[in-house]
Structure 1
Amino acid sequence: MTFTRSALFLAVALASGLTAGIASAQTVALATDKQGTTFNTVGSGIAKVVSANSDLNVIIRPYAGPAAWAPIVDTGEVPFGMMSANSGFRAFSGKNEAKKAYHGLRIIRAGGASLMLGFAVRADSDIHTLADLKGKRVSSDFGGHLSIGHSLAASLEIGGLSWDDVTAVPVAGANDGIDALVAGRLDATWASVGQPRAREADTQIGIRYVAVPEGDAAGDTFRKMVFPGARVTIAPNAVAPGIDGDTRLLSYDSYLVAASAASDEMVTKMLQALWDHSEDLFGLHPSLRGFTNENAVTGAPVMPYHPAAIAFYKSKGVWNDANQANQDALMAKASK
């Protein structure tokens, strides 16, 4: 086959256009937990939607957990991060492993009640309530995730138990706990709904999430022992592997955060892409279903919003006086 001059010209033109497109995209990093975790998957979904609908090329930079990457986003070395409101509370307040308040973190978009968590057990386990954990081998420690430790302790208390009533088995992270469950070294481990490793474990051994008991007491305990924004939410039947019937679980918001030093232009581009294409997120992971435009501004923030995010949400008519009062109070804390 003869490769004509016109064909050669077309190939060169296409290649040049492709190269120019890549060159014109601004590459930015988004910090997440390590691969196989919910927040890595959620961050990857956000990166995909933003990269497809803006001139930002968002790449995922995985870390062991928020304790590892919060200091880096705080200084602006990495401009964006994906974290739970619980981790955000600990990072901003200083109630974390480093005992340091990262006041350079800013929310740019919230996902309402987007994270649902609880104890996962083998599907054929005799553990059906939190009280049934007595005498069982339960995952503990979770390096890089102090917030999980508080959730575990609160769940045990709701079941009328403490760490003295179970056999604590230290694990390095959420995925490691599920690995140990699959291997038979644990009877129960902490997991989020839709977590990729949990999905995989369901195909290997079958898993089931243990429901939180009915009543207001569980929510009160979670808010007291975990953080003020915790609540109990119902995971609908079959929303993800391991959800066998409507299941009451611990839940809280998720945040897309930015460094306070992140440029207004970069933040605005990211928010515009997510606002215009939020529905593209919903099918990627159960935890992204809470990232509606209506939930973008939370009524109970644990850290301030980025100024570019405030300007953006004002332009959309979703930033009100109550939001500004929350912002002013949190900025006062950040200045201390």
Structure 2
Amino acid sequence: MVVSPFTTKLNFGQKHRSGRNVVKKLLVGATFIMSACLSTAMVSNASAQLVGIGTSPQGTLTYQIGASVSKVMQDVGKIPSRVQPQSGTSTIIPLLNSGELDISFANTAEVYDAFHGVGTFPKQPNPKLRMMAVIFPIKAGLFVRANSDIKSIKDMKGKRIVYGLASQEIVRKTVDAMLATGGLSIKDLTPVLAPNVVRGADDLAAGRVDIAVFAIGAPKVAEVDAAVGGIRFIPIDNSPTALAALKKDFPTGYIAQIKPAPNLVGVKEPMFTMFYDYAAIAGADVPAARIKAITQIIAENRDALAQGQPLFRQMETARLFTNFNVPYHPGSIAYYKEKGIAETK
């Protein structure tokens, strides 16, 4: 059989084109696989992105809260996070506002001031700050030695009181607010400057002041109680006039009753005192789905959170969505709507 040159060229061309088609298909397939792998990696990376949790230095309340929330986020929701200690809330909140941190914790007075640019954040508003949840209350009180003749806020007129508290400006505001419930201001007393409440408690133990301020139930209070032979917290009036005076100095504060308990040294009988709340907060630009997931973890894991910070035992579902004139993050609102948790004031 004779094979013509034309047929040979034709067969060769067909084979050549066929080979090119195979190569092209292989390249297309490889490109598809690489794209799929890259997309998967990107999704995986996004889901594993660390949540930045801003706290104050180790040993502080916000650090304990942050560490507890971080652990439960990982254990329950498999959400990785990193606790990032800062010097304090005056540093943390602007970082939330700028998107450099994702979530943090602060008392509601600081949150209100920071969002509106008033009080402890004068002319420094943080419009991208958002509430997530009210997590638990702090009980504040003014205390004296057990043998003091001071029985009420009005009896404090002319007495020596811890004041200044330069590193804890919010606490100074609680002093002003509690004095106001008895119709007094710091001008009616003799202020003795101290940098913080711990030093102030030491000053009371040493006899340098008549009145000090601290969170009721704090270990330091028990220490002073043992050192001086007993201390007493002074009750505040629970009248509408007293509440209005308190809120003028501390808009997010309120008055509630506490009862004697083994861990509440200095509470001798049922009494009214000042409360203010701690809150979980976030930056407005954090994705809603992520904030919804974190809000759910906080709201539904009180016991696990309390293992790291016992104050979480006081968290109440009905108070999670409390309006303090600072907007809530859409992710948190979505969770509350889904669970039927109503907004309260």
TM-score normalized with structure 2 length? 0.73
**Contact 1:235–1:248, Cα closer than 8 Å, also in 2:** yes
Partner of 1:85: 108
Q: How many residues are aligned here?
A: 296
* Alignment of 1:248 onto 2:272: yes
Residues 1:258 and 1:165: Cα distance change in structure 2 (over 3 Å) = same
Which one-letter code corresponds to 2:312 in the other structure? L
Displacement of 1:223 in angstroms is 1.6
Residues 1:34 and 1:135: Cα distance change in structure 2 (over 3 Å) = farther
Which one-letter code corresponds to 1:225 in the other structure? D
Partner of 1:188: 211
Displacement of 1:190 in angstroms is 2.1
Could you tell me how far apart the structure 1 residues matched to 2:81 and 2:153 are? 40
Displacement of 1:42 in angstroms is 4.3
Q: Deviations over 1:269-326 (max 9, x none)?
A: 322322331244457667434422222211x23311112112222222225xx68xx9
Residues 1:267 and 1:200: Cα distance change in structure 2 (over 3 Å) = farther
**Contact 2:64–2:309, Cα closer than 8 Å, also in 1:** yes
* Alignment of 1:295 onto 2:333: no
Residues 1:124 and 1:278: Cα distance change in structure 2 (over 3 Å) = same
Partner of 1:211: 235
**Contact 2:259–2:269, Cα closer than 8 Å, also in 1:** yes
Displacement of 1:85 in angstroms is 1.4
Residues 1:240 and 1:156: Cα distance change in structure 2 (over 3 Å) = same
Partner of 1:143: 166
**Contact 2:177–2:247, Cα closer than 8 Å, also in 1:** no
**Contact 1:38–1:194, Cα closer than 8 Å, also in 2:** no
Displacement of 1:95 in angstroms is 0.8
**Contact 2:238–2:255, Cα closer than 8 Å, also in 1:** no
Could you tell me how far apart the structure 1 residues matched to 2:119 and 2:154 are? 28
Partner of 1:154: 177
Q: The residue matched to 2:77 in structure 1 has which SS?
A: coil
Which runs of 5 or more residues in structure 1 are unaligned?
Answer: 1-23, 327-336
Could you tell me how far apart the structure 1 residues matched to 2:84 and 2:199 are? 20
TM-score normalized with structure 1 length? 0.75
Which one-letter code corresponds to 1:313 in the other structure? Y
* Alignment of 1:129 onto 2:157: no
1:260 to 260, 263, 284: 284
CA-based RMSD of the aligned residues comes to 3.1
Could you tell me how far apart the structure 2 residues matched to 1:148 and 1:132 are? 21
Residues 1:149 and 1:187: Cα distance change in structure 2 (over 3 Å) = same
**Contact 1:66–1:144, Cα closer than 8 Å, also in 2:** no
2:97 to 74, 78, 85: 74
Moved more, 28-37 or 64-73: 28-37
Could you tell me how far apart the structure 1 residues matched to 2:220 and 2:74 are? 25
* Alignment of 1:271 onto 2:295: yes
1:231 to 248, 254, 259: 254
Equivalent runs, 1:43-58 vs 2, <5 Å: 43-58=66-81
Could you tell me how far apart the structure 2 residues matched to 1:34 and 1:123 are? 34
Could you tell me how far apart the structure 1 residues matched to 2:74 and 2:224 are? 31
Which one-letter code corresponds to 1:31 in the other structure? G
> In percent, how many aligned pairs have the same letter?
26
Partner of 2:197: 174
Displacement of 1:249 in angstroms is 0.8
Residues 1:158 and 1:317: Cα distance change in structure 2 (over 3 Å) = closer
Instruction: Say which structure, 1 or 2, has more relative contact order (CA 8 Å, 6+ apart).
Output: 1
Residues 1:204 and 1:259: Cα distance change in structure 2 (over 3 Å) = farther
Could you tell me how far apart the structure 1 residues matched to 2:225 and 2:208 are? 16
Residues 1:104 and 1:122: Cα distance change in structure 2 (over 3 Å) = farther
* Alignment of 1:117 onto 2:134: no
Which one-letter code corresponds to 1:231 in the other structure? Y
Displacement of 1:214 in angstroms is 4.1
Q: The residue matched to 2:213 in structure 1 has which SS?
A: strand
Q: The residue matched to 1:151 in structure 2 has which SS?
A: helix
**Contact 1:67–1:145, Cα closer than 8 Å, also in 2:** no
Partner of 1:17: none
Residues 1:185 and 1:155: Cα distance change in structure 2 (over 3 Å) = same
Q: Deviations over 1:115-138 (max 9, x none)?
A: 221213334433332123223221
Equivalent runs, 1:309-324 vs 2, <5 Å: 309-318=332-341
Q: Deviations over 1:47-79 (max 9, x none)?
A: 454344232355554555432322222222222
Partner of 2:31: none
